[in-house]
Amino acid sequence: MQGKRYGSMIAAIAAAVLFMPFSAHADDTTPGSSQGGKPGTDVPAGVKLTTELPKQIKVDNKAGTTSGLTAKVSNTGTKDSGAITLSVLGLGGMKITKVEGCVPVPSGMLPKGVNNGFACVIDNLAAGKSKSYPVSATYDLKQKGQICLPVTEGTGKKVLWQQGPISFGTTKPTPNAPDTPLLLGTDNVPAVPGSGSGLPKTGPGDLTLPAGLAGAGLLVAGGLGFWWTSRNRRAAHH
């Protein structure tokens, strides 16, 4: 019975992805950074996938919500990518609350140390094209927060590209201002309550995903394979 309920949940997620309006995956030309990114070891010839994150975001000092966060995936190669999945994962002080046009990754399929994540299923990314996804998140300024963007082959566990885990943070806390700017690639220095100074070692230590490049991607992709299988079965009946 539990297996049937789980299968129904996966089918519902797959259906939501299948009928997602295309406008949720609009092409984007906003400049960003691929800092902390690295290609996989066995990427198909002619396909060159990268991801980009904004160089700066902001977090509301009272609500803890972020603004200006997007996740972009591009194919700068000469051949179409075929089916791929972009995952957006939050670690440490960063939790992903929504990614436009994407579905939550079940907690049991997340790598150790990852708070939560969303999967963005893309049928095909043509050569020279990109897709950008608005991301909503919360950030605990008392901790170090990181984000990770693995891109995996649509129906398997192959990692084609992974950016991160990489930090968003500041070395100059502004606790008395409305918001705090966070820079990509900067470890967060939490503010001392009631002052403008920081404590360099407060919060969890450096966060890394297991097994190097493939650690997050392989574990996430293992679960996403179920989504693709369900999705393909449903599509075959239409």
Strands 130-139 vs 70-75: parallel, antiparallel or unpaired = antiparallel
Is residue 127 within 8 A of residue 44, CB to CB? The reply is no
User: Tokens in use for 86?
Assistant: 């972009």
Q: Which of 162, 151, 144 minimizes the C-alpha distance to 211?
A: 162
How crowded is residue 197: how many other Cβ atoms within 10 Å of its Cβ?
Answer: 11
The per-residue pLDDT of the chain, averaged, comes to 76
Give me the number of domains the chain comprises.
1
Residue 202 has pLDDT above 80, yes or no: no
Is residue 75 within 8 A of residue 125, CB to CB? The reply is yes
Residue 15 has pLDDT above 70, yes or no: no
User: Tokens in use for 102?
Assistant: 């994407």
DSSP code string of 26-52: -------B-TTEEE-SSPPTT--EEEE
**Residue with tokens 């902001």, as numbered in its chain:** 58
Coil vs helix vs strand at 8: helix
Tens digits of per-residue pLDDT, 53-100?
Answer: 999 999 999 999 999 999 999 999 999 999 999 999 999 999 999 999
Q: Give the Cα separation of 198 and 38 in Å (integer).
A: 32
Coil vs helix vs strand at 234: helix
Q: Which helix (H) or strand (E) holds 216?
A: helix 214-236
Q: Which of 194, 49, 43 minimizes the C-alpha distance to 128?
A: 49
Is the alpha carbon torsion for 219, 220, 223, 226 positive or negative? negative
User: Tokens in use for 5?
Assistant: 């309920």
The share of the chain scoring above pLDDT 70, in percent, equals: 66
Question: Which region among 16-20, 111-115, 153-157 has the lowest average model confidence (pLDDT)?
Answer: 16-20
pLDDT score of 197:
38
Tens digits of per-residue pLDDT, 118-162?
Answer: 999 999 999 999 999 999 999 999 999 999 999 999 856 788 999
Q: Give the Cα separation of 113 and 228 in Å (integer).
A: 25
Is the alpha carbon torsion for 13, 113, 87, 158 positive or negative? negative
Coil vs helix vs strand at 170: coil
Helix and strand element counts for the chain (H, E): 2, 13
How crowded is residue 227: how many other Cβ atoms within 10 Å of its Cβ?
Answer: 23
Owning domain of residue 199: 2-236
Q: Which of 34, 46, 226, 68 minimizes the C-alpha distance to 149?
A: 34
Q: Give the Cα separation of 23 and 91 in Å (integer).
A: 28
Residue 27 has pLDDT above 60, yes or no: no
